[in-house]
Structure 1
């Protein structure tokens, strides 16, 4: 083998560990600060998200703004939800934000936010918006979250004493914005148009 070829081969094997280390560092930085994958372990968000779906979570977006109504978020559940320290993160939809008054239900069986009925065409088939009544004014800096499969979701409805049904904004890991697996489920997780009609809280 010519000397030039041997030098190139030695150079490759010297550089390979460095390249692998750089790749690992980049992957860790991306996962820590930018984008993380999340596995759907339960049916609480059906049929928007199915068991075994994988989603990408944007971890940067809420460094620049707070979560908005209609967005699907991953968050660390409050200890008052009896999740325990080893419990996985939760994924739910933000239905109301700080200052909102959310009530279930009006005469048509719909949730209202700041007095405006919310049409939820993303709910699991034959589910009602909620089988139990609630009337909550969301504290500033907190969110009222619900699963899309209401009859199979432990969410803000079950912890409405004081403020523990809501979650703090700083408990949110990020916004789930796309389903990337399985391939036949690939798609974006956009905000339903019904949320565009929700008015600001009184005095907001």
Structure 2
């Protein structure tokens, strides 16, 4: 599990096809990997990956075809910046919200506008994801925990304070970019419970 509080901006170093899927190496930036061992989880752009071949400043990860299809990893080129977060420990503060690192699908940036020192961003998602997004609820975008300000149809808006713009890859994002979306787990569980209730009545 993760919190959606980005700890470092890393970089994709290499991406190689191996046996049909991919092996990727990421530079960790300021993340600090001295407490990370092979087999530990790291969220890369909001995607939970298993760290392998960990060094002082980099780690590798095997990326399955499923992950390549459902996330932005399949289109990343070497040099691309990625948000990084180490897995949550029981003693850590939960600054964002509980994030699994299991991306539900892709969204796109449709508008960015200034609002005082902050920015208001609007995203569009497929209908299958839009049903789980609620005003004032939580959402994880590229590994960043955010609060939904408003929802209209397939679109929703969030507010980015200056720190978020500077400490994450949002500073380099533009209108039209594709992003990884993880909806709040509680919304999915609630839907499942309602389905079972309806089946029993």
TM-score if structure 1 supplies the norm length?
Answer: 0.30
TM-score if structure 2 supplies the norm length?
Answer: 0.31
More helix by proportion, 1 or 2?
Answer: 1
More strand by proportion, 1 or 2?
Answer: 2
Higher gyration radius (CA): 1
